[in-house]
Homo-oligomer: A and B are copies of this chain.
Amino acid sequence: MASMTTLNGSRFDRSLFESVLKRRFFFTEAFEIYRLSPNFKGDNRGLYDYGPPGTALQTNIENILELDCSVLTPELVLKTSGHVDKFADWMCKDPTKGEYLRADHLVENVLESRLSRGLSGPCKDSPKLDDAAISEYNDILAKIDNYDGPQLGELITRLDIRNPDGNGEVNPPIPFNLMFKSTIGPSSAAPVYLRPETAQGQFLNFKKLLDYNQGSMPFASASVGKAYRNEISPRSGLLRVREFLMAEIEHFVDPENKQHARFSEVCNVKLPLLDKEKQLAGNTTPQTLTVGEAVESKVVDNETLGYFLGRVMLFLLKTGIDPLKVRFRQHMDNEMAHYACDCWDAELLTSYGWIECVGCADRSAYDLTVHSKYTGTPLVVKQVLSEPVKVEEWEAALEKKLVGPRFKRDAKAIQTSVEGLDQTSLEQLATQLRETGAVTINTPVLSDGSTSVELSSDLLAIYKVTRTSNTREYTPNVIEPSFGIGRILYGLLEQVYWHRPHDAARAVLSLPLSVAPIKVLIVPLSAQPQFIPLVRKLSARLRSLGISNNVDSSSASIGKRYARNDELGTPLGITIDFDTLADGSITLRERDNMTQLRGSEDEVVQAVKNLADSTESWEEISQRLQPFLGQGQED
């Protein structure tokens, strides 16, 4: 797969990297101490715990927060949203091993392995790949996300793709719904799912959000929380997990006006874009356009979508992502989620290849429409027009004098059902009523147990009216940037990881100060008691400035203590030594280049504050403070 180099140009070694993250407790496999037990049944991969530095990093990355919606979601909601029927991956069973494999990953892994070995089969004596096969395989891989289940099945049969583990043939792909299911309440009658995304809660609350925003459009809601996907066969550590933290923004916008008021702020941001036509043509090289150019040339559909792509890029850069290791890839038509009409993924280059970290989807009016239609709750915006307009509309009227006596206590329910019909339905029903003299209308459960009623033209009339209206009613479109916090975190950690030249054991995480879990390490030269009050005072002073800091007064050498904290990504270190006792001066150390500066406590604290506020750079500070080459110097 993709070849990665670290910040200082050496080869990226994932096992070394992961040992650092586990040693410093950025994360660990959940329930690790149970995993060796013979009674630990089933496939519990894809579950991770974040330790203190991982949790702090996660908090520093996500800083938008608004709604907090229920994770447990009744079946009816997800049936309506389409997830119960369509939120599935294709999987193949290997009947020999009893193992389940995700079909697209199977094809991808086998073809990549064949390409890298130049052979058309799994054995050493398999025939060599010819040029036509190489070209076909590369073409398949470039558009792997565009195949549906039957197409993957065709590839598996035609190219004789088998389970690499054991070389067994696999059954044809079948869909596997990715939602975790449970039941609620003691009767166990009600199925619920763990939400697969945080979005639905925001859509269901649209009316309340619009009210809270005093009816003004456009606006956005945001939600940060766990979501769940029952992945078929999670590998790839933190990148494919079954429980993950998401941050989703739902930006509600007028479909006839997708301009964005703050577009100028991102207009000149450069984006490496890989659109769907390129991918279908087997091309994987993105073109770099500014957001403004991309929207103008219609590569990106509209200003609001462009605005969010720009904001995502700026966010990733601020987090510490390397601009050369980001691309924006457009979804292909078969790949798109059932609710999306356009989608661009921000992908990060990792040792696992390009990995989706932020999705930017235009969900159009899909979700609001289906929920509104099902529940009969209008999820619309009423815009007051500056000039009244003429509107042609279908209307339905019941002959109440006849309907009341005929349907008795069901009459009210029938009337409500008729009033709830939308324009499209009314138009269809009008034709049907004219042609056949009767129509069937869906209703809530009626007194005879039925859920529909037939109405003939003596009971129901449907006709067109022209009204003058001061308002315009529309269902907003939704532009949704959706952040996979764990994936961004993992991609970032890979990208900032390197080790000191000629010493693979001395790892460094070059996290930017803004996201580093701890900003400053305070190290007294030794464990002698006279340093204790100085250390406490300095720690409290930094904390009062909002600068998180850790004290390491263990007996290890200064160099060792710094090395330990380089692995935690702590950007700055302050040493307190015997000269501090004499003249109050302290040493400030920079993590990446290990240079040290000396100044009074006031000077150094001010320097730290300026670095934290990004008002001064290390270079600028170096010109004010004295270089330091004395005690505590590292080898």
Show the binding face of A for B, using Cβ within 8 Å: 24-25, 28, 30-34, 36-44, 47-52, 54-56, 58-59, 65-77, 91, 98, 100, 176, 180-187, 189-192, 194, 201, 204-205, 207-209, 211-212, 214, 221, 225-226, 228, 230, 232-233, 242-243, 245, 371, 374-375, 377, 379, 444-445, 451, 552, 554
Asked whether B37 lies within 8 Å of A72 as measured between CB atoms, the reply is: no
Distance A75 CA – B39 CA, assembled complex (angstroms): 10
Task: Return A243 CB to nearest CB of chain B, in Å.
Answer: 5
A181:B182 contact, CB within 8 angstroms: yes
Given A42-B189, A184-B43, A190-B42: A73 touches B31 (CB 8 Å cut-off): yes
A24 to B211, CA, bound (A): 9
A-B contacts, 25 listed (Cβ < 8 Å): A31-B70, A31-B204, A34-B204, A36-B375, A37-B374, A38-B444, A38-B451, A41-B75, A41-B190, A42-B187, A42-B189, A43-B185, A44-B184, A49-B67, A49-B70, A52-B67, A52-B212, A52-B221, A55-B67, A55-B68, A68-B245, A72-B242, A184-B230, A186-B233, A226-B226
A30 is contacted by which of B191, B201, B375 (Cβ under 8 Å)?
B201
Contact A40 to B445, CB < 8 A, known contacts A68-B55, A208-B28, A208-B51? no
A186 to chain B, nearest CB (A): 4
Residue of B30, B65, B192 near A69 (CB, 8 A) is B30
When C-beta atoms are compared, the residue in chain B nearest to A180 turns out to be B182
Instruction: Assess whether B51 is in contact with A72, with CB atoms less than 8 Å apart.
Output: no
SS class, residues of chain A in contact with chain B: mixed
4 more contacts with CB within 8 A, not counting A44-B190, A50-B67, A181-B182, are: A31-B70, A42-B74, A180-B182, A186-B230
B-side contacts of A56, CB under 8 Å: 65-66
- Chain B contacts for A214, CB-based, 8 A: 552, 554
Closest chain-B Cβ to A34's Cβ sits at a distance in Å of 6
Q: Which residue of B lies closest to A212 (CB)?
A: B25
Q: Which of A59, A183, A208 has most B Cβ within 10 Å?
A: A208
| Contact between chains at B65 and A55 (CB < 8 Å) | yes
B445 pairs with A38, CB closer than 8 A: yes
Pair B51/A205 contact, Cβ less than 8 Å: yes
List the B side residues contacting A68 at CB < 8 Å: 49-50, 54-55, 58, 245
Closest Cβ–Cβ distance, residue A265 to chain B (whole Å): 14
Distance to closest chain B CB from A197 (angstroms): 15
Shortest CB-to-CB span from A484 to chain B, Å, is 15
**A76 in contact with B30 given A48-B70, A226-B71 (CB within 8 Å):** no
- In angstroms, how far is the closest chain B Cβ from the Cβ of A210? 10
Separation in Å of the A190 CB from the closest CB of chain B? 2
CB distance from A165 to the nearest CB of B (A): 16
Assembled-state Cα–Cα distance A33/B54 (Å): 38
Bound-complex Cα distance A449 to B202 (A): 52
Cβ contact within 8 Å between A375 and B33: yes
Q: Does A42 lie within 8 Å of B445, measured CB to CB?
A: no
Chain B neighbourhood of A100, CB < 8 A: 185-187
Closest residue on chain B to residue A27 by CB atoms: B68
Q: How far is the CA of A91 from the CA of B190 in the complex (A)?
A: 18
Quick check: B185 and A30 within 8 Å, CB to CB? no
A81 to chain B, nearest CB (A): 11
User: Is B33's CB under 8 angstroms from A72's CB?
Assistant: no
Candidate in A59, A184, A242, A451 with the most chain B CB atoms within 10 angstroms: A184
Interchain CA distance A182-B444 in the complex, whole Å: 32
- A39 CA / B77 CA spacing, docked (Å): 10
- State A50–B201 Cα separation when bound (angstroms): 10
